[in-house]
Structures are given as structure tokens and as C-alpha cells.
Structure 1
Amino acid sequence: MGKEMTYTPCTTYEDLAKKCAGTVKGPVMLARQENRLRELSRRICGEEEITFYGIDNEEGLRVYRRGVLFLMVKAVRDLFGEDSLVVVEHSLQKNLYCEIRRPEMKLTEELLRKLEGKMREYVALDLPIYKRTMRKEEARAIARKQGMLDKAELFRYRRASNVNLYELDGYFDYFYGYMPPSTGYTKVFHLMAYENGFLIRFPDPKNPEVLREFSDPKKISAVFLEQMKWCQLMGVNNVAELNLAISQDKFGDLIRINEALHEKKVAEIADMIHKRMDQVRVVLIAGPSSSGKTSFANRLCIQLKVLGVKPHKISLDDYFVERDKTPVDENGKKNYEHIQALDLPLLNDDLKKMIAGECVELPTYNFITGKREYNGNRIQMASGEILVLEGIHGLNDMLTSEIPAEQKFKIFISAMTQLNVDDHNRISTSDSRLIRRMVRDHQFRGRDAATTIAQWDDVTEGEAENIFPYQENADVVFNSATIYELSVLKQYAEPQLFRIREDQPEYITAKRLIKFLGYFLAAPGLEIPNNSLIKEFIGGSCFKV
């Protein structure tokens, strides 16, 4: 903060934050002292430097979102009855998609405005939010009394003897993470009717006084709705139900059903391509880090071969410009994720020649020398053959600007989490991918968890710029997440996370992920087939990944 301040033993972080108003964008949501996050309602101890976070910081934004969510759940119960079940299903463009499960109630625009109005009443009253620490059995009893059987079952598998519940005007709920000290901290939000429920929209971290812009991601939304059906089909909608399946020796069946659903989906995509073989010449596969793109591409190629189509896989990495021509970012650092880091004229020229049936020698990029080489790798396409390209820019039309649109089939792949912790706590898709990447980096790339975590913000910023803006350009979306994977990844990830020391900058993220993985019972991956996308991360894949 750049200020030295004295305080009394009873001073809270909230008291100090009020004296430092204007140092963050929007309201202060969270404090960081030394290398630990602190709720604003907590009393200050120690003399270490204190940093405050607003919603322009990811940790602060998480607190804001939880606060608004708490308002919404409380308002639903007050307006529609304590037996009204509200479920947070998934995140959509940083908004939360929710449904109210009450058979006789149809959610109209009038009811939605009434619900939002009730939430704003709580904000105006600035009601305090209390953290209550209690014995596990007491917390389970409160959850059952309030009809939150999902939370009661979740606590059953909790190893700690105590549970922290939050209280708002007599209503108790459990949230994975910290809360604001009162309802007055969460003034900017909006409820928008969507699909069978509604979206909670949140402020723009760069401009906290206004809502984040929203463009309807219809294809992504359709995939999430499909995943909801898959969860219902498998009888596992939350972590407690996954843990129950493991404890009842049903984990193997869960793996087989999930993998069968994946294989069926891959086969459907291959069928779609096959039906357009009179036009399509190039399949483009794109997705964020740790989505399982390589395994997916291999499985798709197998399904295409079953249909009599011969695929030729091409790596976009081989089309990097020579290293001294790589574009740089504003800090002068080489930006290998920029689309101009690829030799687009050469790529398009080679693609056009191959589509025309000419014999083309493909380059191989030497990552040691930073130069392209030609080693006799030639392709000449014939009838019934197709090119398969995998890379982060696959959905950006600039990549293949000289190839007619009808000759391209675009696939977006991402690990969009199917499972939630409970009805009010969703599992972050970004966290799931980070855990995947952490395990893979340690297994096959010699990197520790701290290194992976340290690089993650740069990775996600690159994805936000180069991948997600183009996801709706896809002809089809494939969700590579599995309902079972975190129970398997847990045993690989936890030892790495525990190696991160408290004085390391990555400790905050490590501590959060350790707590998160603590919800899951560990399960061996012995029954995972060797063509599974998960094998790309834990090892044992039959594909070269």
C-alpha cells in the first residue's frame, strides 16, 4: 500500500480498508497479509505488510461473486419458501447459470425482477454476514434442517472435525471460500432470464460500476445443458454423490459410462465430418491448455478411419516463424501465442497445394535452433483423405484465411466441468484444467507445481485473447471433462501442492487447491482405458501425447 499505519488490537481488516479507500477498483473485498488471505471481518494480528484486493483481482472477485450468490439463495428462500431448491449449475462467460427447482413454479420475468428486488433490499440494509465455526455433526444437522441434503452428505466425507458456515439474517449456508463482511459490499449485479433458469451477471473487473458485457454463447451453453443430462444419467451431480459411488465400489462403472459417452460423442463428430466430405478438406481443432486436444485428435482420426476416411495430422507448431522473427509483447518478451508467431502465408500455401492434390513437403520446427527444417515428410492427398490441424488458433479465420469456409470443419474442445461441489458451490473449469496441467507437467515435463501455478495467469490471459473469443465459430464443441477425474488426479496433485512452502508466492493458490481436493475421496485410475483423454495427464496413454 506504501503507507505505515498503527492499529489497536481490536482493529479488523475492514476498519483498515476503510482508511485506505480508493486503492483498489471497486470495493475492497479481501486482504492479504504476508502470504495468506484474510477476510475483512477478521482482526489484524502481526505487523507484516497488508495488501487489499478489489474485484480487479481474481481472489477479490471470487469473494464478490460468493456474496451475491448468498444474497440470491437467501432471497429465493424468503420469497418462494424454504423448500425451494436453487442450484448453481455452471459458469457462462463469468456469469453463473442457476435454476430454481420448484415443480409448480414457472420462472417469469416478473418473478425474476421480484427476486432481484429482494436481493437489493438486503444490499440497502447492509446486513452483516457472520462466519460460524461449529462441529461437523452440528453443521450437518443445520444443513438437514434447512433442506440442504447435498451439504449434509458433503460434510459426511469431511476429515476436519469443524465446519465453517456463514449466517445471513438467520439463514446458514456453506461456501467454498471467503465472504464479504456484509451485504452492502455487493451492489452491482443483475439477474437475466436464460434457458430454463437465469444468469447472475457480475461487474466488469476493469470497470466495477458496470456489468461485464455479455454475448450469448449458444453453442457452449448447449454443451453445458448436455452435461447436466449426462450427470443425471450417471446419477452423480455433486461431489458427495461421486464419493458415494466410490465408497460403494461403483467407480469402475462410472468410468466406463463416462468414457462410452465420450466415444459416442467423438463418433458423432466423425459422422458429421463424413457427411460433408464432398466439401470439407481441413479439420481444425482448438482449445485452451490441458483440454486433451492431442488425445481427442487421435481418437477422432480413429473414428474417421472407421468411416473410410484417411486423416493426415499436421502440427501447427511446425509452422512457427524463425525465432528471431517472433513478435514481442509490450514488455519486449517473445509472444509465441500470438497468431503472427506462425508463418501464415506458408501454412496457407501448403494447405492450398495439398487440397489441390499436389505433393507437399511439410516443415519440422527445431525448437532447439529456433528454425524450420525439411526432413522428407511429404503429403499428397487423394480422394477420401482429409487434413487434421490442432492448435490454439484453429478457430480464428485469420489462420486459414485463404481456405474457403466450406472446406473447413472447426472443433472447439475444452474441459468444461460437469460436476459441482454442491448445489451452491461450482467447480471452476480453470481450476480443473490447472490441476490437469500440474499433474502432466510434473509427470512428463519435469516441472514442479509452483512453476505451473506461476505460469498459469499468463496461460489464461493468452487463452482469453486467442481462443475463447472464437469458440462460437466452431461447427461443434466437445467437452473433454470427465465426472470422475478429480478423484484420480487428487493423488497425483496433492503431494506436489504440499511441497509448496508458505513463503512462496504460489502458496495461496496451492492452499486453495488442497482444500478443494480435500472434498474428494481418492480413487485409483486402474480401470481408465488407455485411449482416455485423462491418460494424457496421468500417463499410460496408447497415443503419442
Structure 2
Amino acid sequence: MKTINVTIDGETFEVPIGTTVEGLLCKAKLLDGDKECSYFDNPYIGSLVNHELHSCSKPLMSECTLEPVKLFGDMGKRMYRHTLCYLLCSAVSMLYPDRKLVIGHSLGDGYYFSFDDEYTLESSDIETIANTMHNLVSQNLPIELVTLPYNEALSYFNERQFKQTEALLSTRNDPVIELYRLLGYLDISYEPLLGRTGLLQVWELRPYQEKGMLLRYPRSYDFQQLDTFKDNPLLFSVFKEYKAWGNILDIRSLGQLNTMGNQNTIGSFIRLAEALQQKKIANIADQINNRGNIKFIFIAGPSSSGKTTFAHKLCTQLQVLGKKTIKISLDNYYLDTDLVPKDEEGKPDLEALEAIDVVQFQKTLNDLGSSKPVHLPLFDFKTTTRVYEPDEAIMDKRTLLVIEGIHGMNPKLISNIDKDMVYRIYISALTQLNLDDHNRISTTDNRLIRRIVRDNRTRGTNAEATLSMWPSVQRGENRNIFPYQNNADIMINSALDYELGVLAPFAQPLLKMVKPSQEATYETARRLLRFLDNVNPIASTLVPQDSLLREFIGGSEYNVI
């Protein structure tokens, strides 16, 4: 039997080719194959194989270096959540073989699931499903990575009426398909899964809304237990609205989108998707106009949510209603770099509210609100200093201030303003499109892909640099944006169901330039590339010039950068 050399922590092991990651970890005495691991022991649950993440059941086919991955970490967290979803889907398949479970979206510390036939889940149903999941966990069953020939995999999903998975595979031509197997249940996962069910020990399945259930998991800051449940009905209402849009567009999965592109019907789909988003923006303008007393409109959201273009489009709709608008970006109120607070790494923390000259901003609002002329600031990011517009801005009775920036929901920013004069809009790219029925497309990954494309176009930044700064961006969002999202009067989804097809041809060559030697970012680049391999390209020439997507790919009529 042929052997390969595998190195862990400087020690090299000679093992038969095809040895699994788990087998190698046992040989290195990092795992005990005869001992059941506990979730609370923070066990090894996979490994970076030449800096790419793999599950314990992955066979090793060539010489490599292994870096074991533990459960309580960023990569372990992702594997745990995906495996929880897999466990739920397998339990439902055993109990309801003729019904199709669909993952909807993330909601706080959980994922929303429902049946595609609108079957109403009773409390007794959810209790039965949870008990089945607990039973599978108690047996500590293996979750095995297996490969099937393409036609055999396609036939498997066709026989079980997994139409969205079949649609996804029908637009691919891989000779073999990697699947995960638990007992007789097979399914796709585009991210690695844990190797055994026994590790899935901290979760909750609870009824949610009128027809679904919420699968909850531990937060990153406390792996030991679940948080007390906190509902977010405003966010759920946004997802519910966009699910209805998905029904109008007659699409809910990436496989369906790929098929539409292959049939050359994507142009009309793009126009319909853009029209639905435009209608939503017009409805928001109507609500603002009907309130009568609104003077200040704040737009906030996380990185790459499309705040700038949305602000322009909203101004247009307000002007249609006879309003004048003055657009202000909070980015122009940054303090000089030496006055900006430092983050955990000692770098300027541009995500912090304290990086903004709040006093000057509030004075601007007071002066404009009192009909005083104001020279609005412009922050020069090259010199990191503030300059001022030569022309004065002034408000009259018809004028509205439209202010966009990440801190727009923070009450400290507008502590001196009459709240009845304020309207707040939260915007984010909340993907309603799924990979298939059991694998959702991450909202965060969608924003990251947008950011990679835009940073390269506008700043000449390579993907490695954007990926390196992304953890800091996320820390800032968790601290400064997400806690205030429910202060919004309304939420809007900036995601367009067709956008990944447009973004993929821009993002893929950039991600391929991230090499194994760039260890801090390589795994994320590989993960995004594995996901984008499922996406068929859509010509960027089909994207309207006023589309919010143009903020990222370029060519916007609003000249946003």
C-alpha cells in the first residue's frame, strides 16, 4: 500500500494514502478514537490541510501539513452551525420523508426553517423532531464524507424530490459529487461538517412565527451555553417580505438562477428584481412624505450594504414628491487620524463613534435646521484631513437632510434633535436566495464579496488586504451597528437575487491571487471560491446604470466610489 508523509506541529507521520484527518489526529494522539469527545472539552473537529479547512472524515491523498482546528474558534463555529442544520434536515427526512424542509435565513443566534408546502408545525411536531435529533446525538454516529459519480448523485436527489439540489447539480458537470452521509441520509454541504453527531450538544429547537421553527446555537463569545432568546420581529418582517418577492420572481435557489441564465431569460429577471427594489424605495419615500414633520433621514447599515447608492435613489424619489434634499455622509466628519481611538491591534478604529466629530456634526444639523447656511465638510482620505465645500448648503421648508453612515441608528448621534423630526432606515444585504433547500447563502459572505470587488476597483486593494481587515470590520459592526438596528423605523434589503452571478467573475480572479503562504486569509479565500464555483456568470452589461449593484462593480450613474 502506498504511503504519504503528513506533518503536524513539526512531527512527520508516515501513513497509508487515504488515511482520514481523524485517523491522523488519532495517530498524533490529539484524538482518542476509542473515547467519545464532549462538546465542552473543546475537541479537535477538523484540520487545515495545507491551509484549507477539511472535516475529520476527509481522506488524505498526498503529502501535506496539518494544522488541527478546535471547536471553540471561528472555523469550528462555522462547522458546528452547518452540522446542526444538517442534523435537523436528516431528522426531518426520517420523520417526514414526503415533506421538504427549507432553510429560510439567520435570525440572531438561529436559523429559521419551514416546510415548502406551508405545513404548520405544531409544538408536538417540533418536540418530536428535537427528540429525534437528541437521539441521533446520543448515539454519537459518524457523519461521513463520501463521493458519488455525478449521475448517481443526481439520481439520488431526483428520486427524493430534492428539486433545488437537483437544479444546482444540473448546472454543474463535476465527475464526482462530495456528499455527507448520516445513516442512510445523504446531502450536500459546501462547507465541512463535524465528524460525529455526539459533538452537537448545545442547541435549541423552538417554534417561531405561525408556521416555522428556529434552530438556535451558541454565540461566538460564549460557546458554553445559549443566550436568552431575544426576538427580532422587525428583521423577520423584512425576510418575510422578501420571501414574497422571491415568489413574485419565481426563484428561491441558486440552481434556479443558474438555469435562468442558461436559458437567456436573465435580462427580464434583472429588470423585475430592480423594479421591486425601486418600488420599495418609492414606498419609503411616500411614508416619509406622509409623516409631514420629518426633516432628518438617517440611513445606516453594515459594510457593503449599499448605503451610498440607496441614499441617492431615495433622494430621487423624494424629489419626485416635491422635496429638496441635501445628502450628508458621516464619513466626512472623521476626526484627524491622530485623534481617532485605537482598536485592539493598536490601529485607528474608524468603526467607533468616537472617530466621528459628533460635536461638529450636531452643530451642522442645528444650523441647517435653523435655516442657517453651512459649508459642509469633505474628508480627504489621502491627507486624512477635513476640508469644506465652497458652496453653502441651506434648508427651507421643502428640504430634507439625508444622512448616511454606519452610526445612523446610534441615539448618541442625535441626542439634541427632536425625535419626531427623525426617520431612520436600516439597510443590509439580507440574501433570501438559497444555495439549495438546506444550504443558505450567507449574508456576511455576500457583503464580503461585494467589498472585495469594490475595494479592488476603487482603491486598488487586493483580496488578501480586504480579507485581512474583515475581522476588524466585523468587530466594529457587532459593537457599533447591529445592537442599534431595531432603532430603525424601517428596514430594507439591498440584496438583489441576481447579483452573485454578476459579482462572481469579478471576485474569482481576485480570490485566486490569495496563496497558501498567506495563511491568515487563505482559508476564507478558498471557502468563497468553493461557494462561487456554484455560481454561473451573468454579464455586467445587463445591470442598469442606476442599480445599487453598480456601487460595487462600477459604472454607476451616481458616480459613487
Corresponding residue SS for 1:88? strand
Question: Structure 1's 363 and 218: CA in aligned 2 closer, same or farther, altered over 3 A?
Answer: same
Partner residue of 2:369 out of 335, 355, 374: 355
Q: 1:54 aligns with which of 71, 90, 93?
A: 71
Query: In structure 2, how many angstroms separate the alpha carbons of the residues matched to 1:88 and 1:268?
Result: 29
**1:523 Cα deviation after fit:** 1.5
Residues 89-488 of structure 1 correspond to what in structure 2 (within 5 A)? 89-102=104-117, 105-195=119-209, 196-277=211-292, 279-488=293-502
**Which segment drifts farther, 200-209 or 369-378?**
369-378
Could you report, residue by residue, the CA deviation over 1:301-356 in whole angstroms, capped at 9, with x for unpaired residues? Answer: 00000001101011212222232221122443221211011111221122112112
**Alpha carbon RMSD of aligned pairs, Å?**
2.2
Match of 1:76 among 87, 92, 96: 92
Structure 1 unaligned blocks of 5 or more: none
Cα distance in 2 for residues equivalent to 1:520 and 1:2: 35
- Determine the structure 2 residue equivalent to 1:67: 83
Residue 409 of structure 2 aligns to a residue whose secondary structure is coil
After superposition, the Cα gap between the structure-2 partners of 1:27 and 1:249, relative to the gap in structure 1 and judged at 3 Å, is same
Structure 2 CA distance for aligned equivalents of residues 330 and 132 of structure 1: 42
Quote the Cα distance in structure 2 between the aligned partners of 1:516 and 1:334.
33
The separation in 2 between residues aligned to 1:465 and 1:258, in whole angstroms, is 32
Does the 8 Å contact 2:8/2:65 carry over to 1? no
Q: Is the 8 A contact 1:29 1:55 kept in 2?
A: no
Letter in 1 for 2:357: D
Q: How does 1:510-521 map to 2 (within 5 A)?
A: 510-521=525-536
Aligned AA (1:96): Y
In structure 1, C-alpha distance between the alignment counterparts of 2:399 and 2:349, rounded to whole Å? 34
The answer as to 2:50 corresponding to 1:39 is no
Give the CA deviation at 1:242: 0.7
- In the superposition, relative to structure 1, how do residues 155 and 374 fare at CA in structure 2: closer, same or farther (>3 Å)? closer
Give the total of aligned pairs: 541
Q: CA deviation at 1:64?
A: 0.9
Kept after mapping to 2: 8 A contact 1:17/1:52: no
Q: What is the alpha-carbon distance in structure 2 between the residues aligned to residue 420 and residue 101 of structure 1?
A: 13
Counterparts in 2 of 1:541 and 1:12: CA distance versus 1, 3 Å: same
Once the two structures are TM-superposed, the CA of residue 43 in structure 1 deviates from its matched residue by 5.3
Q: Following the alignment from structure 2 to structure 1, what is the Cα–Cα distance between the partners of residues 378 and 500? A: 36
- Deviations along 1:188-213, one digit per CA (max 9) or x if unpaired, are 11011112201100023332221144
Superposition deviation, residue 293 in structure 1: 0.9
Alignment-mate amino acid for residue 540 of structure 1 = G
Uncovered stretches (5+) of structure 2, i.e. residues with no partner: 1-6
Cα distance, 1:77 vs. partner?
A: 2.2
Cα separation, 2, equivalents of 1:387 and 1:354: 9
SS at match of 2:460: coil
Q: Output the CA distance in 2 between the equivalents of 1:78 and 1:375.
A: 66
Residue 101 of structure 1: CA displacement? 3.5
Residue from 27, 31, 49 that aligns with 1:18: 31
Q: Are the equivalent residues in 2 in contact too, given 1:30–1:38 (CA < 8 A)?
A: yes
- 2:545 and 2:92 mapped to 1: Cα distance? 46
1-side partners of 2:66 and 2:515: how far apart? 19
Corresponding residue SS for 2:223: strand
Deviation at 1:136, TM superposition (A): 0.5
CA distance in structure 2 between the partners assigned to 1:421 and 1:125 by the alignment: 30
Q: Distance in 1 between matches of 2:344 and 2:257?
A: 46
| 1-structure distance, mates of 2:440, 2:66 | 32
- Secondary structure of 1:30's match? strand
Question: Matched residues in 1 for 2:346 and 2:79: separation?
Answer: 34
Separation in structure 2 between the aligned mates of residue 52 and residue 82 of structure 1, nearest angstrom: 35
How far 1:485 moved relative to its partner? 0.6
Q: Name the CA distance, whole Å, in 2 between partners of 1:245 and 1:3.
A: 48
CA apart distance, 1:525: 2.3
Q: Decide whether aligned partners of structure 1 residues 28 and 404 sit closer, same or farther in structure 2, where only a CA change above 3 A counts.
A: farther
What is the CA–CA distance in structure 2 between the aligned matches of 1:213 and 1:23, rounded to whole Å? 20
Residue matched to 2:546: 531
Q: Aligned with 2:225: secondary structure?
A: strand
1:542 paired with 2:553, answer no
Q: Is the CA contact 2:351–2:473 (under 8 Å) kept in the aligned structure 1?
A: no
Q: Following superposition of structure 1 onto structure 2, how do residues 486-525 of structure 1 map, counting pairs within 5 Å? A: 486-505=500-519, 506-525=521-540
> Mean alpha-carbon deviation: is it higher for 410-419 or for 13-22?
13-22
In the alignment, structure 1 residue 85 sits paired with structure 2 residue 100:
yes
Alignment CA distance shift 1:409-1:8 (3 Å):
same
> Which stretch of structure 1 is more off in the superposition, 385-394 or 449-458?
449-458
Whole-Å separation in 1 of the counterparts to 2:40 and 2:121: 37
Q: 1:375 to 1:108 in 2, by over 3 A?
A: closer
Alpha-carbon distance change, 4 to 369 in structure 1, aligned in 2, over 3 angstroms = closer
Residues 66/318 of structure 1: CA separation in 2 closer, same or farther (3 Å cut)? closer
Question: Match for 1:308: what amino acid?
Answer: G
Residue 45 (structure 2) aligns with = 29
Equivalent pair of 2:322/2:398 in contact (CA under 8 Å): yes
> Do the aligned residues in 2 keep the contact of 1:24 with 1:52 (CA within 8 Å)?
no
User: Aligned partner of 2:254: which letter?
Assistant: V
TM-score (norm 2): 0.92
**Of 143-152 and 393-402, the range deviating more from structure 2:** 143-152
> Match for 1:29: what amino acid?
I
Query: Per-residue deviation at 1:267?
Result: 0.3
Q: Is the 8 A contact 1:25 1:207 kept in 2?
A: no
Q: For 1:424 and 1:206, how far apart are their aligned partners in 2?
A: 26
Mapped to 2, the partners of 1:132 and 1:343 lie a distance apart of 56
Equivalent pair of 1:366/1:373 in contact (CA under 8 Å)? yes
Query: Which secondary structure state, in structure 1, belongs to the residue aligned with residue 414 of structure 2?
Result: coil
Aligned residue for 1:203, secondary structure, equals: coil
CA distance in structure 1 between the partners assigned to 2:106 and 2:467 by the alignment: 22
Contact 1:26 1:208 in 2 (8 A): no
Q: Given that residues 101 and 114 in structure 2 are in contact (C-alpha distance below 8 angstroms), is that contact kept between their aligned partners in structure 1?
A: yes
Kindly provide the amino acid, as one letter, of the partner of residue 31 in structure 2: K
